[in-house]
């Protein structure tokens, strides 16, 4: 085949025709993707709170549809001979198995994630050492809006400057293959609530019963109550996960230490907004403790058993 008088090596009329058909197929698929995207936006305009999730899965279906149609179309154009197709598929498969192991594993992870059993867009997860909300899912990588870490896990790698479960502003991509190597922690999938704790050190001389009552009052005011949860969710938690109804109620636990009595209130909170909840509780608890004349204990040290000190004056020497 010649172009402007130059003979193109490896391209004849047949391959040129196939190349032209391939370009037309790509253009048609691009237009199809734009049209399906507009249709998805139009159909999900009134989806309410579930709009983003519906759009996400619709876009995933669109991507898969276009990928499958494109693959079948390209194979149909270039490999019209079944024998040639079988040979090409064998060579490509062998090459992928050797050179693109991580990519193939990540692609397999994508289809596992699509089953919806691990996580979906909007879920708060920990994956590959990254904590945050899933904002996008691709064929190879999952995109996460990173969040900080509470003080108890500040030593984790990588360390965070945000000392609570709030966004850091960094967007992190994690390979889908991680679902085969590490556990996936999901904060929202089956149970969109988490149990939180707040610990206070109270001196033994103070009114600890009153301090416990103050903690319980604040917790009951701000915690998620069992009666506010959907009945089907409560029943599923009790029968499928064996969660006792008593676990939904706030409770204060005592622990004896060398310096103070440690009071820890355990309560049920929503998966988002925990820092604001604990901030409000801390302000109310501190004001109530001040009104009751109860202070927070701090570490004290008592020095005992000092050896006796003797001061001896030397007489002046005679010159």
pLDDT band, very low/low/confident/very high, at 67 (cuts 50, 70, 90): confident
Average pLDDT on 227-253 reads 85
SS3 113: helix
Are both 205 and 284 inside the same structural domain? yes
pLDDT in tens, 172-225: 999 999 999 889 999 888 788 889 999 999 999 999 999 999 999 999 999 998
- The residue with greater pLDDT, 105 or 9, is 105
Alpha-carbon span 272 to 187, nearest angstrom:
9
Q: Residue 308 domain-assigned?
A: no
Are both 229 and 281 inside the same structural domain? yes
Q: Residue 213 domain-assigned?
A: yes
- CA dist 23 → 12, 84, 222, 277 (Å): 16, 22, 60, 56
Q: Residue 54 domain-assigned?
A: yes
Contact 215, 252 (CB under 8 A): yes
Q: Residue 64 domain-assigned?
A: yes
User: To the nearest whole number, what is the mean pLDDT of the chain?
Assistant: 82
Alpha-carbon span 259 to 203, nearest angstrom:
7
Are both 20 and 69 inside the same structural domain? yes
SS3 64: helix
Are both 92 and 15 inside the same structural domain? yes
- CA dist 186 → 152, 157, 232 (Å): 18, 19, 20
The residue segments making up the domain with residue 219 are 193-292
pLDDT band, very low/low/confident/very high, at 228 (cuts 50, 70, 90): confident
Contact 260, 201 (CB under 8 A): yes
Are both 40 and 63 inside the same structural domain? yes
- CA dist 158 → 5, 67, 126, 154, 164 (Å): 60, 36, 13, 9, 14
Copy the structure tokens of residue 246.
């008593």
Apex CA 148: angle with CA 189 and CA 265, to 5°?
Answer: 70
Q: Residue 282 domain-assigned?
A: yes
Are both 209 and 274 inside the same structural domain? yes
Rounded to two decimals, the pTM is: 0.62
- Measured in whole angstroms, the distance separating CA 140 from the mean position of its chain's CA atoms is 17
Alpha helices in the chain (DSSP H): 13-43, 51-78, 82-99, 101-114, 178-181, 208-222, 231-240, 274-292
pLDDT at 231: 83
Are both 138 and 173 inside the same structural domain? yes
pLDDT in tens, 10-25: 566 677 777 888 888 8
Q: Residue 93 domain-assigned?
A: yes
pLDDT band, very low/low/confident/very high, at 3 (cuts 50, 70, 90): low
Q: How many domains does the chain have?
A: 3
Are both 47 and 90 inside the same structural domain? yes
Q: What percent of the chain has pLDDT over 70?
A: 78
What residues contact 303, with CB distance under 8 A and at least 6 apart? none
- Quickly count: other Cβ atoms within 10 Å of residue 51's Cβ: 13
Alpha-carbon span 221 to 283, nearest angstrom:
13
Q: Residue 6 domain-assigned?
A: no
Are both 165 and 204 inside the same structural domain? no
Q: Residue 77 domain-assigned?
A: yes
Are both 276 and 242 inside the same structural domain? yes
């Amino acid at each position: 085949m010649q172009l402007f008088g130059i003979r193109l090596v490896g391209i004849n009329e047949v391959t040129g025709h196939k190349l032209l058909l391939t370009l037309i197929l790509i253009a048609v698929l691009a237009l199809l993707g734009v049209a399906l995207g507009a249709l998805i936006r139009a159909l999900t305009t009134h989806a309410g709170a579930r709009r983003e999730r519906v759009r996400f899965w619709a876009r995933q279906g669109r991507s898969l549809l276009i990928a499958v149609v494109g693959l079948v179309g390209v194979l149909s154009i270039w490999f019209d001979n079944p024998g040639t197709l079988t040979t090409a598929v064998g060579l490509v498969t062998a090459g992928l198995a050797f050179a693109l192991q991580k990519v193939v594993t990540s692609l397999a992870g994508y289809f596992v994630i699509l089953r919806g059993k691990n996580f979906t867009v909007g879920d708060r997860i920990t994956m590959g050492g990254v904590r945050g909300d899933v904002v996008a899912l691709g064929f190879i990588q999952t995109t996460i809006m990173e969040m900080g870490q509470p003080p108890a896990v500040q030593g984790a790698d990588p360390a965070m400057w945000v000392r609570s479960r709030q966004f850091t502003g960094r967007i992190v991509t994690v390979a889908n293959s991680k679902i085969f190597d590490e556990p996936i922690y999901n904060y929202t999938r089956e149970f969109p609530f988490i149990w939180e704790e707040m610990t206070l050190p109270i001196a033994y001389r103070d009114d600890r019963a009153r301090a416990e009552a103050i903690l319980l009052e604040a917790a009951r005011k701000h915690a998620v109550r069992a009666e506010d949860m959907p009945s089907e969710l409560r029943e599923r938690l009790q029968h499928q996960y064996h969660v006792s109804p008593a676990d939904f109620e706030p409770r204060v636990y005592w622990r004896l230490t060398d310096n103070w009595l440690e009071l820890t209130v355990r309560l049920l909170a929503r998966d988002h907004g925990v820092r604001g909840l604990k901030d409000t509780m801390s302000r109310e608890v501190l004001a109530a403790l001040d009104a009751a004349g109860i202070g927070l204990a701090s570490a004290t040290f008592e020095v005992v058993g000092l050896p006796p000190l003797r001061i001896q004056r030397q007489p002046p020497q005679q010159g």
